[in-house]
Structure 1
Amino acid sequence: MTRLYADENFPKSIIEELRKLGHDVLTASEAGQANQRIPDTQVLAYATQQKRVVITQNRSDFIRLHKIVKIHAGIIVCREDRKYPLQLAQRIHAQLLTHTLLDNILIRVNKLS
Structure 2
Amino acid sequence: MAGLYADEQFPRVVVELLRALGHDVLTVQEASNANLGIPDEDVLAFAVTKERAVLTLNRIDFIRLHASQPNHAGIIVCKDDQQDRQRMATRISEAISNVETLRGMLVRVNRPSQ
Aligned mates of 2:12, 2:41 — CA distance in 1? 22
Aligned counterpart, 1:99: 99
Note if 1:5 corresponds to 2:11.
no
CA RMSD of the aligned region, Å? 1.3
Checking the alignment, whether the CA contact within 8 Å between 1:28 and 1:34 is kept in structure 2 is: no
Aligned residues: 113
Deviations 1:14-72, CA, capped at 9 Å, x for gaps: 00000001111000000114774211011000001000000000000000000000210
- The separation in 1 between residues aligned to 2:18 and 2:27, in whole angstroms, is 12
Q: TM-score, normalised by structure 2?
A: 0.94
Distance in 2 between the 1:33 and 1:15 partners? 18
Give the conservation status (yes or no) of the 8 Å contact 2:6–2:26.
yes
Larger % of helix: which? 2
- TM-score normalised by structure 1 residue count: 0.95
Gaps (5+ residues) in structure 2?
none
